[in-house]
Amino acid sequence: MSVRKRGESEKDKVKLNKQNLNRALQIFGYVLPYKWPFILGMFFLSAGSLLFLAIMSLPGEILNIISGNPTYPLTLNQVFLFLLVLLGVQGVFSYLRVWLFTIVSERSMANLRKDLYQQLITLGIPFLEKRRVGEVTSRITNDVTQVQSVVSITLAEFLRQIIIFLGAIVIIIFKMKSLALTMLLTFPVVVLLAMFFGRHIRKLVKKRQDQLADSNVVVEETMQNIQTVKAYTYEWVEISRYQTNLEKVVRIALKAAHMRGLFAAFIIFVMFGALFFVMWRAAIMVQNGAMLQGDLVNFIVYTGLVGASIASIGSFYTEIVAAVGATDRILDILDTPAEVQPKENITSNTKRFEGNISYDQVHFSYPSRKDVPVIQGLSFDIKSGQKIALVGGSGAGKSTIIQLLLQFYNIDAGEIRIDDRSIYEYDLLDYRRNLAIVPQEVLLFGGTIRENILYGRPDASSADIIDAAQKANAWEFIQSFPEGLNTIVGERGVKLSGGQRQRIAIARAILKDPAILLLDEATSSLDAESEKLVQDALNTLMVGRTSIIIAHRLATIRDVDCIFVIEGGQIVEQGTHEALSAIPDGAYNTLAKLQFDLIE
């Protein structure tokens, strides 16, 4: 696990170049609809920065007035009043800048999040399977937040510091020529050395954070599998694993502390030494009458502004580079071809299938395991309205057959047809609206029972919902809740039992009224009472539609029209329950004998 984390860290290191800068600028396409607030914000930013430079010259002028050598024909009261006016204007400019940039960043990044979520939800299963859920959600949360921070704060402050830096340099050169050369020869060297130290410290801090993240992964994994840890008495192993990671964190932290100590010593001796050297030169000039006292104050102020701006520019540049890396990851998703183009889920305009299904010499291997064939030359036909069952051992390819029918993956060879037409010739959204699946493990959405059932047909009436719930044998337990259909099911439906979740899923499928029904071991994990209720609901659901059942308990498929026994991605036997049970050494008979209630 830690290897993966370190791998990500290396990958996330970004250097600013023309290529990734051009890619990053694509994100600013989301800013264009709000160009006028952005332009106004930049105006107030620039005006406010120049105004700040003007305000910083007033303390020195106050000292000149006190010493009797004013640069401008102004009294002390007039300068103070002028200072108040400038501060008031500066405050207004700052407010407008922050408000305008917030409008731009919030609205533009909301659009980016919407597009990114839309893209994620319309990408194919193979793309999403290659990434962890945490990684995917990180793109829409952490990465977009990083870009938003640049748009709303970092970019503005970066430009502000550049304006202050250039403005302070110009003022020093034109108003304090005698000290400008000393300052310009001293400070750049000191600042460059400070940036060198800072870069190494940031690397160590980042490395420590990565290592700490590895430690947190150990904690997360242990807590998620705490029952397994305790069952196998592996507490000591997990403690040792966590301690090993923490020792690495400590070593890196101590190394970073060593660098920070050297940097602190450098700042105290070199940075302040250089500052006092320049001040010493200026003090001598004041003592000799070559400079006014107020000008010395201004020189110190503007010199400090130059140094602070350079340090800030380096820090903001690092944040911008990190945001460029974030935009790269965002664009990688946005540039990936989508599986579907979302449109309103109105089923009334969707042509209903008759439900004839044909697999013709289908071959398939998963994209991540191309060297391992899962389906090998599979062929079978299902007539409209028939109920067929797929049985076989784990890994035989039963669930894959359903996933291919749902077009979660594209087949490698052969053809799958519905109503004598290739499944890839249909519009994918219209195609999938003709199918419904009731899986073995139902994970409901965290809203209400009503919202979960409405997933089958969003425009359904309350009467339709109740009718579907009754047919699914769910209405009785729904009525037992104080809130009825408005009962919150909790995250992933945890507040409901397994049988209740299954019946909600069946009600959803009934409401959808599909032409083709797919049941993926829908009763295998239920107790006997729940299984009977769910099986009755499934029997109601299967009436009048083509049904494909993946069966674990063979007792549930006695009455299907045909059973296909799958081994190694191929059909090795097919027929009715009675016909297959009559084959003495047949694969189906062997499976049946393993289930004691079917021994004959």
Q: Give yes or no for residue 313 having a pLDDT over 70.
A: yes
Residue 423 gets which letter from DSSP?
Answer: G
Could you name the CATH architecture of 344-434+564-600?
A: 3-Layer(aba) Sandwich (3.40)
> How far, in Å, are 452, 463, 495 from residue 443 at the CA level?
10, 25, 11
Summarize pLDDT for 173-189 with one digit per residue, the tens: 777 776 666 666 666 66
At residue 255, what is the residue type? K
pLDDT value of position 383? 92
pLDDT in tens, 471-503: 888 888 888 888 888 888 776 566 777 778 888
DSSP readout, 489-553?
--GGGTTS-HHHHHHHHHHHHHHH--SEEEEESTTTTS-HHHHHHHHHHHHHHHTTSEEEEE-SS
- Cα dist from 576 to 81, 145, 333, 401, 584, whole Å: 99, 58, 47, 20, 15
Please report, to the nearest 10 degrees, the dihedral formed by the alpha carbons of residues 435, 439, 442, 448 taken in order.
20
Q: Is the pLDDT of residue 2 over 50?
A: no
pLDDT for 364 equals: 92
Query: Structure tokens of 341?
Result: 């183009």
Name the packing angle between helices 462-471 and 528-542 (round to 10°): 120
Q: What is the pLDDT of residue 210?
A: 66
More confidently predicted of 407 and 439: 407
- Asked if the model's pLDDT at residue 6 lies above 50, the reply is no
According to the model, what pLDDT value does residue 197 have?
A: 67
Contact assessment for residue 50 and residue 167, using Cβ atoms and an 8 Å cutoff:
yes
Dump pLDDT digits (tens) for 77-86.
887 888 889 8
Compute the mean pLDDT over every residue in the chain, rounded to the nearest whole number.
78
Q: What is the pLDDT of residue 600?
A: 45
Band (359; pLDDT cuts 50, 70, 90): very high
What separation, in Å, do the N-terminal and C-terminal C-alpha atoms of the chain show?
50
Domain 9-175+319-342: which topology? Answer: ABC transporter transmembrane region fold (1.20.1560)
- State the amino acid at position 373 in one-letter form: P
pLDDT digits (tens, 9 = 90+) for 523-573: 655 666 666 777 777 777 788 889 898 887 777 787 888 999 988 888 898
Tokens for 383? 């007539």
Tell me, rounded to whole angstroms, the distance of Cα 305 from its chain centroid: 39
Mean pLDDT of 363-368: 87
This model's pTM is above 0.85: no
